[in-house]
Structure 1
Amino acid sequence: MRVELIKTYKSVHTWTGILAGLFLYIAFVAGALTMFKGPLNQWALQPETTLPSISVEKYDSLITEVLQAHPEAAKRMTVHLPLAGLQVAPVSWEIEDEVTHDHTLWYASFDGNGKLITQSFTVSAIGEFVDHLHRTGGIPGGEGHDAFGTYVLGVVAALYFIALVSGLIIFLPTWFKDLLVLRKGKNRKRYWLDFHNVLGITSLPFHLVIAFTAFVFAFHDPLYDALRVTAYGDSPMFTRPAPQEVKSFSELVPIAELETAIQEWESKFQMAEILYINLDTRSPRMRVGGIMHGEVVRGAEYAYVLGNPYLSEIPYSSFMPSNFNGYSGTVMSIFSLHFGSFGGNAVRWVYFVLGIMGALIFFTGNLLWIESRRKKRRAQGALPVQTTSSMVMARLTVGVGLGTILGIAASMLTVKWLPHAQVDIEFWQKTTYYTGFLFAVAWAFVRRPMAAARQLLVFCAAAIFLIPISSLIKGELLGAATQVWAVDFVALLIGVSLALLSVHLRKRQAKIEPDSVWSELVESPVTESSIPTPLPNTHPQASS
């Protein structure tokens, strides 16, 4: 391959990576954590915002009593069965204010005497907040599919895909020579390039899938809107069931009967939640979510069955593995490959590791860009000063990289200690995240990059150590479910890793060359004669 063509692809790879890298770093760190969104949510629960659990046999009675006492719940009510990822209360529903459009969540259960109890409160759902960071890159504005950051991440995903393809083309000429090679030594650029390549090549299929699916998810609604206008016209895109007579709530299919009907169709299906919609209208609907271990499923956690809550017959649903065809199989695969929901906890841990590796790819890419600028100036005979662009990139890399971690840790501590029943916990978990994130970015700009990195690593480690300490102080470790104390254990490991990295950077400081942006010197007292003469380099990929 011609050297000129390699340089062109290298330029494409560099700038698409630079433009997308910082957003993708946040998305990958948060995305790694969302693999265990359920345990995070359960870890954050407080006794004041939890109603008693009940046996499966009592669910039908509870649903009927809730609908009779609170008919407004018929519009949208969720039943959380024992296998559900978050155990707040057996039943919940949402009420929207017609004037302000604010939403209020209500929960219901039975007390020890079998009497209906209802309560309105806000659950932190820290897992959903981290997932929001994952989908938006932390860019504020809007919620759900309408979040501004979602569309930004869609564009970033396209740049990400271009960076992956161009990076692969750059690597092809030296594929067999440099595959999985990690050369340590004085040439820091060579080391970061090897590390960057090892991370990228070993996880390339994963990243191609994530880039493509992230783009599809971001522009899912506009794509469907375009199809509705250009292809379907006045015809409906989806077939809707014929309206029926409004039925009594007591005619809802019992949960045991519903589960039996589904398992006759999909034997692996284990019911976890039921979403009832418009139960008091002529077009009632339900969506049953269930666990199917080892199967390709539509959701991040569950497979789904759609149907009529007053009919035990389960209609055809392309959401289920038994009904895969060309189109539905492709759609299901896109969802499942992105969510890592096809192989249980083993695959979730693999995706967690791949997510961290993804974050490191963008981190090392920034370090490589910084080092390349320094090498280029040396090769051109210019004075080895620390350029503004390199300093800004170094500070953004440190600030955004460690600010993401500090912000998430601060948000977790907030939902652990603030009383959910007395404050707007969703507001405070967002506020503390952005406070921690912006503090780290500001700190990186007022301190030298290496000093800021060491100090922010200490801040992050301290904040993360407080996560298991908080659980210990609150007495929540003893008797807690495995998924709860696992959150504290992983936090402990991450805290130790960050503390050790801070120590390593302090030891490394003495070996940093004075013209590096990572030097602690405010002014670099170096001359051209003090800089070693660069050796000729004919390697096309390693050239600046």
Structure 2
Amino acid sequence: MRVELIKTYKSVHTWTGILAGLFLYIAFVAGALTMFKGPLNQWALQPGTTLPSISIDQYDSLISEVLQAHPEAAKQMTVQLPLAGLQTAPVSWEIEDEETHDHTLWYASFNEKGELITQSFTVSAIGEFVDHLHRTAGIPGGEGHDAFGTYVLGVVAALYFVALISGLIVFLPTWFKDLLVLRKGKNRKRYWLDFHNVLGITSLPFHLIIAFTAFVFAFHDPLYGALRVAVYGDSPMFTRPAPAEVKSFSELVPVTELEAAIQKGEPKFQMAEILYLNLDTRAPRMRVGGIMHGEVVRGAEYGYVLGNPYQREIPYSSFLPSNLNGYSGAVMSFFSLHFGSFGGNAVRWVYFILGIMGALIFLTGNILWIESRRKKRRGQGTLPVQTTSSMVMARLTVGVGLGTILGIAASMLAVKWLPHAQVDIEFWQRAAYYTGFLFALIWAFIRRPMAAARQLLAFCIATIFLIPISSLIKGDLLGAATQVWAVDFVALLIGTSFVLLLVHLRKRQTKIEADSVWSEFVEKPVIESSIQDPLPDTHPQASG
């Protein structure tokens, strides 16, 4: 391959990676943790924010009594069955204030005497908050599909895809020579390049899938909008059932019969939740979510069935594995591959590891960029010198890298200790995250990069180990009471890794070269970077 072409692809890989790296780091760390979204939500529950669970044969009576006592629940009501990931209450619904448009969540269950009890409270849903960070990189503005950060990450995903392809092309000439090679020695640039390549090559298919699907998810609504205008015109994109007569709530298909009807076509389907919509109108709907072990499914946790809650005959659904065709099969595969929702807990742990590896790819890419610039500027004077861009990148790498971890850990502690019934817990979990993140970012710009890294690591270690300590104090260490052992286990795993990293950094403190941005010397003369600065040479063959 021509040298000029290799240099072009190196430039593309470098700058797309630099522009996208820090956003993707946040998305990958949060994405790895969303593999345990259900346990996270359950871990954060408090006695005042749960109602008693009930047996499966009580659900029909509970649904009937809720609709009779609170007919407003017919607009949108969620039923959480025993297999659901979050056991807050068997039934919940939302009421919107017509004047303020504020939403209030209500929950219902039976007490020990079999009497209906209802209560309004706020659940932290820390798992959903971490998922929001994953989809937006923590960029404020908007909610759901309209969140500003979602569109930013869509653009970032496109850059990410370009960086992957260009990086692969750059690596191809030395594929057999450098594949899975990790060379330690005095040449730090070579070491970081090898580490970066090993991480990237071993998880390349995963990253290609994530990059493509993240772009499609981010621009899902605009793409469908353009398709509706350009292709369908006045014709509907989706066929909707004809309006029917308004039914009595007593005619709802019983829960047990509903599952049996679905299992005629999908024997593996284990019902976990039901979402009822518009039960008192001529267009009632339901969405049934179920666990399907080992199957490719549409959702992050469940496969879904859509239908009419008053009809025992379950209609054809392209969301079910048995009904897949070429198009729906491809779409469902993309969803499942992005969410890691196939293969059960084993695949979730694999995706967690791949997510952490992805975050490390972006960190090593930044370090490699810094080391490449240092090598090019060596010998320009007797004093160690740094470019402004190298110092800023080092500080951003430290601040964003550790600030993301510190912020998430602080948010988890906030929802564990603050009384959900007395405070706006959703506000405080956001406030805790941004406080931790911004503190780390500011601290990284106040202190020298390596000093800031060690000090912030100590902050992170203390905060992370408070998570299992909080579980111990609350009486559910490693999920003894709530079966959410994965949360405490991951906290212990990350905390221990950070301890080892801190020990390593202290050992290397005296071995860092004086011309490195990681040096502990006082501030040096700074060479201002400019647009004409040479691009870093990251090709293995050019390394000294």
TM-score bracket, normalised by the shorter chain, equals over 0.9
Secondary structure of 1:290's aligned partner = strand
Q: CA deviation at 1:538?
A: 11
What is the identity, as a one-letter code, of the residue corresponding to 1:118? T
Q: CA deviation at 1:370?
A: 0.3
Alignment of 1:281-300 (within 5 A): 281-300=281-300
Change (3 A) 1:453 1:538: closer
Equivalence for 1:394? 394
Equivalence for 2:531? none
- CA–CA distance in 1 between the matches of 2:213 and 2:490? 28
- CA–CA distance in 2 between the matches of 1:539 and 1:193? 8
Q: CA deviation at 1:102?
A: 1.7
Change (3 A) 1:539 1:291: closer
Q: Does the Cα contact within 8 Å between 2:478 and 2:488 map onto a contact in 1?
A: no
Whether 2:69 is the aligned partner of 1:66: answer no
Whether 2:139 is the aligned partner of 1:139: answer yes
Equivalence for 1:12? 12
Equivalence for 2:532? none
Whether 2:329 is the aligned partner of 1:338: answer no
Change (3 A) 1:413 1:478: closer
Alignment of 1:444-483 (within 5 A): 444-477=444-477, 480=480, 483=483
- CA–CA distance in 2 between the matches of 1:482 and 1:188? 46
Q: CA deviation at 1:329?
A: 0.4
Secondary structure of 2:518's aligned partner = coil
Q: CA deviation at 1:477?
A: 2.8
Q: Does the Cα contact within 8 Å between 1:402 and 1:460 map onto a contact in 2?
A: yes
Q: CA deviation at 1:199?
A: 0.1
What is the identity, as a one-letter code, of the residue corresponding to 1:333? S
User: 1:425-474: CA deviations, max 9, x gaps?
Assistant: 00000000000000000000000000000010010010000001011112
Change (3 A) 1:319 1:379: farther
Change (3 A) 1:382 1:319: farther
Equivalence for 2:412? 412
Q: Does the Cα contact within 8 Å between 1:193 and 1:542 map onto a contact in 2?
A: no
- CA–CA distance in 2 between the matches of 1:302 and 1:243? 28
- CA–CA distance in 2 between the matches of 1:539 and 1:108? 62
Q: Does the Cα contact within 8 Å between 1:9 and 1:167 map onto a contact in 2?
A: yes
Tell me how many residue pairs correspond in the alignment. Answer: 534
Alignment of 1:455-534 (within 5 A): 455-477=455-477, 480=480, 483-524=483-524
Q: Normalization by structure 1: what TM-score? A: 0.96
What is the identity, as a one-letter code, of the residue corresponding to 1:60? D
Q: Does the Cα contact within 8 Å between 1:7 and 1:540 map onto a contact in 2?
A: no
What is the identity, as a one-letter code, of the residue corresponding to 2:507? K
Equivalence for 1:440? 440
- CA–CA distance in 2 between the matches of 1:470 and 1:311? 47
Q: Does the Cα contact within 8 Å between 1:514 and 1:525 map onto a contact in 2?
A: no
Report which stretch shifted further, 391-400 or 89-98: 89-98
Q: CA deviation at 1:141?
A: 0.6
What is the identity, as a one-letter code, of the residue corresponding to 2:291? I
User: 1:329-386: CA deviations, max 9, x gaps?
Assistant: 0110110000000110000000000000000000000000000000011277796401
Change (3 A) 1:407 1:542: farther
Equivalence for 2:233? 233
- CA–CA distance in 1 between the matches of 2:24 and 2:525? 37
Alignment of 1:530-541 (within 5 A): none
What is the identity, as a one-letter code, of the residue corresponding to 1:313? E
Change (3 A) 1:379 1:326: farther
User: 1:242-267: CA deviations, max 9, x gaps?
Assistant: 11110100000001111110001100
Alignment of 1:156-305 (within 5 A): 156-305=156-305
- CA–CA distance in 2 between the matches of 1:119 and 1:269? 31
Change (3 A) 1:241 1:386: same
Change (3 A) 1:428 1:299: same
What RMSD, in angstroms, separates the aligned Cα atoms of the two structures? 1.6
Q: Does the Cα contact within 8 Å between 2:476 and 2:482 map onto a contact in 1?
A: no
Q: CA deviation at 1:43?
A: 0.4
Equivalence for 1:55? 55
- CA–CA distance in 2 between the matches of 1:310 and 1:216? 35
Change (3 A) 1:61 1:473: same
Q: CA deviation at 1:483?
A: 3.9
Change (3 A) 1:538 1:108: closer
Equivalence for 1:532? none
- CA–CA distance in 1 between the matches of 2:479 and 2:65? 32
Q: CA deviation at 1:542?
A: 4.0
Equivalence for 1:118? 118
Q: CA deviation at 1:476?
A: 2.2
What is the identity, as a one-letter code, of the residue corresponding to 2:343? G
- CA–CA distance in 2 between the matches of 1:424 and 1:235? 45
Q: Does the Cα contact within 8 Å between 1:513 and 1:519 map onto a contact in 2?
A: yes
Q: Does the Cα contact within 8 Å between 2:291 and 2:301 map onto a contact in 1?
A: yes
Report which stretch shifted further, 279-288 or 228-237: 228-237
User: Unmatched 5+ residue regions in structure 2?
Assistant: 527-536
Secondary structure of 1:36's aligned partner = helix
- CA–CA distance in 1 between the matches of 2:382 and 2:276? 69
- CA–CA distance in 2 between the matches of 1:276 and 1:377? 65
- CA–CA distance in 2 between the matches of 1:106 and 1:362? 43
Q: Does the Cα contact within 8 Å between 1:515 and 1:524 map onto a contact in 2?
A: no
Secondary structure of 1:427's aligned partner = helix
Q: CA deviation at 1:492?
A: 1.3
Q: CA deviation at 1:95?
A: 1.1
Q: Normalization by structure 2: what TM-score? A: 0.96
- CA–CA distance in 1 between the matches of 2:403 and 2:415? 18
- CA–CA distance in 1 between the matches of 2:362 and 2:71? 51
Q: Does the Cα contact within 8 Å between 1:122 and 1:424 map onto a contact in 2?
A: yes
- CA–CA distance in 1 between the matches of 2:400 and 2:423? 29
- CA–CA distance in 2 between the matches of 1:282 and 1:346? 44
